[in-house]
Amino acid sequence: MTGVHNHLEVALPDSTRRDDVKLATAASNALAANLTVPDTVEATAEDGNITLTGTVSYGTERAAAEAAVAGLAGVRNVFDDIEISYSLDPVEVDLHVQQALDRAALVPDDSDVTADTKDGIITLTGHVRTWAEHDAVIGAALMARGIIDIRDELQVTG
């Protein structure tokens, strides 16, 4: 299977419906309260659908914005139109990823994990011993500035 097409529709009970202004206000407050989300992210609401716009530097900031509004009462869908800026050149992004990997305690110093970046998309290759190491590598890559997407080609060797 290569993909899933989600055609589910969230039907909200009347008790959880909010008008667009109240929902947009609640979403904006949730974004402001989350320290991970920069103030460059904005939320609008229409018929229970939240649209997030703006620019962030890290994929973790983008994910935090989605998570901050997804659980609000009255939200049917979250549309993420947030852009990740990637003004750094690929060599600098690779360096940031390698430095993040070096700081990750679960990734051994003799690891053969490599990160190759092109157009804000990072491809991770190499071997890790455990799923915990795998997750640490992915987490480290997400912390690199300018990463739009990650292609995970890591092998867990056990």
For 17-31, the pLDDT digits (tens) are 778 899 999 999 999
Span 91-100, mean pLDDT? 68
pTM score, two decimals?
0.56
* Choice among 31-40, 71-80, 112-121, 139-148 with the minimum mean pLDDT: 139-148
Proportion of the chain above pLDDT 90, given as a percent? 32
User: What pLDDT was estimated at residue 107?
Assistant: 67
Beta strands of 7-148 (E only): which ranges? 42-46, 49-56, 77-84, 114-118, 121-128
Higher pLDDT, residue 6 or 85? 85
User: What pLDDT was estimated at residue 30?
Assistant: 95
Tell me the C-alpha distance between 31 and 117, whole Å: 29
Tell me the C-alpha distance between 138 and 105, whole Å: 13
